[in-house]
Structure 1
Amino acid sequence: MQPIHKLWGAIRQVRQRHLNPASLQFRLTAEIAALSVLGLSSVAIWTSWKMQQVLITTHTQGVEYVATRFPRDVELYSEMLPVETGLQKTIDNVSVPGLVIWVKSLDGKRLLAQSNQMYSSFPATAALISLADMPLKPQVYQVGNRYLILYEGLVTVKGKQLGKVYMAQDVTQDQRQLIAAIQGLAIVCILVTILTMAAIAYRIRRSLQPLQSMSQIAGAISVDDLSQAKLQLTSAPSEVKELAQTFDMMLSRLSEAWEQQRQFVSNVSHELRTPLTVVVGYLQSILRRSTNLNDYQKEALETAAAEADRTVRLLQDLLDLARADSGYMHFRLEPVMLNDLVAEVTGMAEKFSNRSIRVEAREKVTAIVDRDRLKQVLINLIDNAVKYSQPEQPIELNLEQVERQAIIQVCDQGVGIPLQDQSRIFERFYRVDEARTRISEDDTKYVSGGHGLGLAIVKTLVEGMGGSITVRSKPGQGAVFEIALPMSKEKALA
């Protein structure tokens, strides 16, 4: 089944790339192919019609020549012989191979004379005579398996109309050759159309290849290599090269703007962190040493200290992200016994959150990580679990080894995360609406959630150690954050 799935996938990919009605390649190919088919068809139809007209004209001229002689010969023979005998004598005299002549009375009811070979040459004589009674046009008529050109004229002797003369020129062989030529022309046109469409599709694909290369290069550009990204198009039309140069200029401007923004965030975070840390220290010192503060003053100082501390943590997070973006965040990767590290972090979290946290580990698990960075990751995830779950709801950490990877799960039974938000919670400054409030420690009020950088830092740190992080959650049923970490040096550096 696997090869069939691969083949079907390849077919779908080809259809999406080459048979997509919305693509420029498909539209150009279809339009030019339609114009080619229309042009070749018009030429083939006109050529066929012209060849038919040449055939009709050529044989009609011969029949008309015989028709102009016929009345004179009839008048000449009628002076010496009876009229009907003169008619028959004239028919025998002017007859040539492939030409059949018969004469009927003016009322069309009586046959006066006819060619001797008429019935032997034309088995469908009755159909021929009935066809000749209708108004005739200069065209080829099919009678049975024969093709004929018909002619009708009056026979006049001494100013008196004797009847009507009919002539049928057999052009079967010429008509069949013409049909064969038309069929050959049609086959040639079809083949030329197919080859033209293939050539057009190939040329259009080659012409659009630089645009596809631009799309692939642009899709592969990331923030890290934005400054070095260049679209190198050697064999491309001048219009596409101009577009590539404009795109390179845009990338250069984006790189400069991104670098300026990153430097600004780093500088602001660094410059503000120190004075705010001093402010937090003074506020906490005042709270510890002052004994003559009333309740209102004490609450105000506690609020100021808490918000200042929160701002310091925000600035530290911004500084960490700026260092990661600049490539200045270094990891000391080494083998670490995760059981001990998880137990240490759990003990710290239980002490500061007054919550019970269970750890489940069926085996000893070692991974290649940065001990301090992994502690920071777990503290952030446990802090989220504490914030967005009730005090009586349990928090669990599961540790196991799966296919040469160390797996750490942080599970809670809190408010959960909607499905549409799960793909964005690791973005910077993104906060789920339901997660913007959390229950306070005394279970009496709701307080503001985080600043939307915690999970972004978690993802940055985990990926910096060569791992990955995912989330599974349902609203009202809690969330499970799963960290996968490499257990070998090679995978950690990959």
Structure 2
Amino acid sequence: MNLIGDLLTKITQNKGRIDPFSLQFRLTVGIIGASVLSFGGVAIWTTWTTYQILIDSHKQNIIYLTDRLPRDVELYSEMIPVDIGLRRAINNVTSPNLLIWARAPDGSVLAQAETLKTERASQIVAAVDSLPWLPTKPQSSWINGSYLLLSSEPLAINGTRIGKLYIAQDITRDQARFLGLIRSLSLVNLLAILALAMAIASYIRRSLQPLREMSQMTQVISVDDLGQAQLQLDSAPSEVTDLAQTFNTMLSRLSDSWTQQREFVSNVSHELRTPLTIVHGYLQSMQRRSQNLTEAQQEALDIAAVETERIIRLLQDLLDLARADSGYLHLSWEPIDLAALLREVASMADPFSSHTIQVEIERLDAHGSGAESIHVKADRSRLRQVLINLIDNAVKYSEPHTPVTLRLHQFDEFVALQVSDRGCGIDLPHQTRIFERFYRVDEARSRSTGGSGLGLSIVKTLVEGMGGSITVRSKLGEGSVFTVTLPNPSVKL
């Protein structure tokens, strides 16, 4: 069982586990299964044929003796009495494993071979005589621990029936030798199958190695690598090489499409932002001189101004994302006092929200000392944009008058900024996707709050552009905590 288990482990592995749906597993099991059936079928047919040849040779010998004995007795009867001639003829053809005897119609023994004088032979004869029926043609039978070929035919001399001739040939030893040979052949066959299975598994593994390499190459291809990514396979079959070339062509087309898409978004956003900014300026000017407008006109003007401002913000977000994708996102690096920045953002957001914006600062360094001033090197305006977006997101998805907390932690190697709320929370399946572009947890609610699905994507892009990372921890009904981690905290300036 250990050998079979090791073999299955070597057949196909995927991160230490057998994958029953992999091509390697299916090919290996299929070929090994076909080989086992073929070997097994040939072995069974060979065994059966050999056994029949063995039995048939003994049967032919018995049939030959059955035909020969009456003729020998007839020859002896010309010179000696029939009973003496019968005994002599039987003794002439007898052997240690061949039991021959003849009985008269009344059941008395006419003649018997010398081999019948042993105790075991007598037991076999007694067991045969007790059988209710004996075949006229040789047939095999298991009697008293011996495997025998039995035959009984009428015995006629010179046309006169004088009794019945019984022949029992003991083939137990031949049967044992045959079974031993079968066991040896079975063991050899099993070892051959195992060796073949391991050879097949190894060959299939090597044959599929180019596909495995191709899969590993494609796993590390990112959007930024589409233009330069090329699959290079050494010593691969022509089919796999053709597949790699097709995949390279597809990567090139995807790169062109992605570049065209980014340029289109950037161009459209840039072209639309300027006229919309002008329109928004006119709307604001009209709002300031709206004394002669009716209430309905004033309401329509306010809606138009709000929607125009929302579209301008959306276009600005798209421009930022397009610049980041193209590698042209400009960052102005400078030392930033994070504690002061958090208080500044909180004071900016507090008048425009029904929520209380709280700021908590904690320093956890190797010395365990506290500090009110924590500095990092980043882009002040971009980091302010990140915090405002996170606060805006917390306010939108929280009940009024619940607090929104800004926490600042400094550790030995990084700084963590947390924005936490006590809102509705985010379900676990959505937590892995909320940083995707245009992804919305609740479409209806996003429309009502004016969200475009780009806010958190912008946050992630800006944070990663500054060398940091952002994570979320949330529970339904209890709220969410967004954590921004920035590297390399500086000492107090």
TM-score by length of 2: 0.86
Name the counterpart of 2:307.
307
Name the counterpart of 1:417.
426
Name the counterpart of 1:23.
22
| 3-state SS, counterpart of residue 397 of structure 1 | strand
Instruction: After the TM superposition, list the runs of 4 or more consecutive aligned residues in structure 1 that deviate by more than 6 angstroms.
Output: 15-18
Distance 2:117 2:244 in 1: 81
1:55 alignment partner AA:
L
Contact 2:362 2:410 (8 Å CA) reproduced: no
| 3-state SS, counterpart of residue 451 of structure 1 | coil
Name the counterpart of 1:444.
none
Distance 2:377 2:313 in 1: 27
Name the counterpart of 1:464.
465
Contact 2:280 2:308 (8 Å CA) reproduced: yes
Contact 1:102 1:111 (8 Å CA) reproduced: yes
1:116 alignment partner AA:
E
**1:117 alignment partner, one of 108, 115, 118:** 115
Change (3 A) 1:69 1:234: same
Q: How does 1:205-244 map to 2 (within 5 A)?
A: 205-244=205-244
Change (3 A) 1:139 1:465: farther
Q: How does 1:59-458 map to 2 (within 5 A)?
A: 59-106=58-105, 109-120=107-118, 122-123=120-121, 124-125=123-124, 126-130=126-130, 133-135=133-135, 141-144=141-144, 146-289=146-289, 291-333=291-333, 335-353=335-353, 355-363=355-363, 364=371, 365-402=374-411, 404-433=413-442, 436=445, 447-458=448-459
| 3-state SS, counterpart of residue 452 of structure 1 | coil
Q: CA deviation at 1:147?
A: 4.2
1:74 alignment partner AA:
V
Contact 1:362 1:399 (8 Å CA) reproduced: yes
| Superimposed CA distance per residue, residues 392-442 of structure 1 (whole angstroms, 9 cap, x where no aligned partner) | 22111111135633221112223433343322221211222277269xxxx
Change (3 A) 1:391 1:99: closer
Q: CA deviation at 1:56?
A: 2.8
Greater shift after overlay, 166-175 or 196-205?
A: 166-175
1:487 aligns with 2:488: yes
Q: CA deviation at 1:455?
A: 0.8
Greater shift after overlay, 337-346 or 118-127?
A: 118-127
Distance 2:386 2:425 in 1: 19
Change (3 A) 1:360 1:136: farther
| Superimposed CA distance per residue, residues 332-377 of structure 1 (whole angstroms, 9 cap, x where no aligned partner) | 4555332122122222222444653110112344444333221110
Distance 1:344 1:105 in 2: 129
| 3-state SS, counterpart of residue 224 of structure 1 | helix
Contact 2:331 2:379 (8 Å CA) reproduced: yes
Q: CA deviation at 1:313?
A: 0.8
| Superimposed CA distance per residue, residues 10-48 of structure 1 (whole angstroms, 9 cap, x where no aligned partner) | 99x947776332222222222211211111112112222
Contact 1:415 1:434 (8 Å CA) reproduced: no
Q: Which runs of 5+ in 1 are unaligned?
A: 1-9, 439-446, 490-494
Greater shift after overlay, 340-349 or 286-295?
A: 286-295
Name the counterpart of 1:53.
52
Greater shift after overlay, 78-87 or 260-269?
A: 78-87
Change (3 A) 1:45 1:388: closer
Distance 2:244 2:345 in 1: 52
Distance 2:412 2:82 in 1: 115
1:462 alignment partner AA:
V
Q: CA deviation at 1:286?
A: 3.2
Q: CA deviation at 1:266?
A: 0.4
Name the counterpart of 2:368.
none
Contact 1:415 1:435 (8 Å CA) reproduced: no
Name the counterpart of 2:474.
473
1:411 alignment partner AA:
S
Change (3 A) 1:206 1:480: same
Contact 1:416 1:474 (8 Å CA) reproduced: yes
Distance 1:454 1:15 in 2: 38
Change (3 A) 1:131 1:85: same
Greater shift after overlay, 118-127 or 300-309?
A: 118-127
1:115 alignment partner AA:
A
TM-score by length of 1: 0.85
| Superimposed CA distance per residue, residues 275-306 of structure 1 (whole angstroms, 9 cap, x where no aligned partner) | 21122223223333565444444333332222
Distance 1:358 1:336 in 2: 20
Change (3 A) 1:148 1:380: same
| 3-state SS, counterpart of residue 480 of structure 1 | strand
Distance 2:28 2:417 in 1: 54
Change (3 A) 1:334 1:200: farther
| Superimposed CA distance per residue, residues 304-336 of structure 1 (whole angstroms, 9 cap, x where no aligned partner) | 222211111110000001111112124445553
| Superimposed CA distance per residue, residues 258-288 of structure 1 (whole angstroms, 9 cap, x where no aligned partner) | 1111110000111111121122223223333
| Superimposed CA distance per residue, residues 437-484 of structure 1 (whole angstroms, 9 cap, x where no aligned partner) | 69xxxxxxxx54211111110111122223222223344433222222
| Superimposed CA distance per residue, residues 204-254 of structure 1 (whole angstroms, 9 cap, x where no aligned partner) | 222222222222222222111112222212222222222222222222222
Contact 1:411 1:481 (8 Å CA) reproduced: yes
Contact 1:132 1:150 (8 Å CA) reproduced: no
Contact 1:366 1:487 (8 Å CA) reproduced: no
2:134 alignment partner AA:
M
RMSD (Å) for aligned C-alpha atoms:
2.9
Q: CA deviation at 1:141?
A: 4.6
Contact 1:151 1:166 (8 Å CA) reproduced: yes
Greater shift after overlay, 347-356 or 420-429?
A: 347-356
Q: CA deviation at 1:106?
A: 4.7
Q: CA deviation at 1:203?
A: 1.6
Distance 1:65 1:388 in 2: 104
Contact 2:73 2:86 (8 Å CA) reproduced: yes
Contact 2:134 2:151 (8 Å CA) reproduced: no
2:83 alignment partner AA:
E
